[in-house]
Amino acid sequence: MNVRALSTPWLMALLLASGVAVAAAGAAVGRAAPALTVPQLDGAEFDLARQRGKVVILNYWATWCSPCRAEMPVLEAFYRRHRAEGLVLLGVSVDDAHDRAAVAQLMRQFSYPAALAGSARSDGFGPPLAVPTTYVIDAVGVVRARLMSGSAVTEQTLEKVVLPLLPPAPGSARASGSR
């Protein structure tokens, strides 16, 4: 078998099936986030390196993944409440390129941008071992959390992980020290 001819997802599946341990590519909690440059569905380019100074949530998902779809309204509500505080959210769909229309149709329900992982110019995060997988990156570019399907994204999880990373909005309860 010509291993070079295998695409990365096929190679990972083969390695997992054969019992070989596979580490997630380049995105370790507590370390600098790897590169991610990808065109969004709206045509704008997302470059993680240009997001310094902002807290970034990267949510790897798929249209066929029911836990992913269940998390999306939670992410949307959290994003709407905190984007003015410097929160950036990008949904990174692992769907195939030929499913772009289905991805775009689903994303019409949400205000946060999305991209197809397969269109990335660089993606040091690599294909996720499972979806949903959500990364939280702080304002200096360090991965602070990786939430996978076993630790689903909830309002409480986002408040615990993301809120401490955001600067308090003027006049907010967090700015005045009460919570």
For residue 24, is it within any domain? no
Helices (H), 18-173: 66-82, 100-107, 155-161
- Is 79's pLDDT higher than 90? yes
Three-state secondary-structure class, residue 36: strand
- Tokens 């992410």 map to which residue? 75
138 lies in some domain: yes
Question: In this structure, is residue 16 part of a structural domain?
Answer: no
- Of the candidates 27, 62, 68, 88, the residue annotated as catalytic is 68
Confidence (pTM)? 0.82
| pLDDT for res 16 | 38
5 Cβ neighbours under 8 A, 6+ residues apart: none
Q: Which of 9-23, 125-139, 158-172 has the lowest mean pLDDT?
A: 9-23
Whether residue 9 has pLDDT greater than 60: no
Q: Evaluate if residue 23 carries a pLDDT over 80.
A: no
Catalytic (active site) residue 142: no
Catalytically annotated residue among 65, 145, 153, 162: 65
Residue range of the domain that includes 126: 36-165
Residue 166: count of CB within 10 angstroms of its CB? 18
Domain count, the chain: 1
| Cα→Cα distances 27→78, 121, 130, 147, Å | 23, 17, 14, 12
Rounded to whole angstroms, the Cα distance separating 87 from 165 reads: 9
Distance separating alpha carbons of residues 9 and 127, to the nearest angstrom: 7
Known catalytic membership, residue 1: no
Residue 162 vs residue 148, higher pLDDT = 162
pLDDT of residue 149: 72
**Does a structural domain hold residue 156?**
yes
Asked if residues 134 and 57 have their Cβ atoms less than 8 Å apart, the reply is yes
What is the residue-averaged pLDDT of the chain? 85
Is residue 17 very low, low, confident or very high in pLDDT (cuts 50, 70, 90)? Answer: very low
CATH number at residue 134: 3.40.30.10
Task: Kindly state whether residue 129 falls inside one of the protein's structural domains.
Answer: yes
Judge whether 46 lies within some domain.
yes
Residues 88-114: what's their mean pLDDT?
Answer: 98
**pLDDT confidence of residue 174:** 58
User: What would the pLDDT profile of 112-131 be if each residue is shown by its tens digit?
Assistant: 999 999 999 999 999 998 99
Higher pLDDT, 24 or 118: 118
3-state helix, strand, coil split of the chain in percent (to 5) is 35, 20, 40
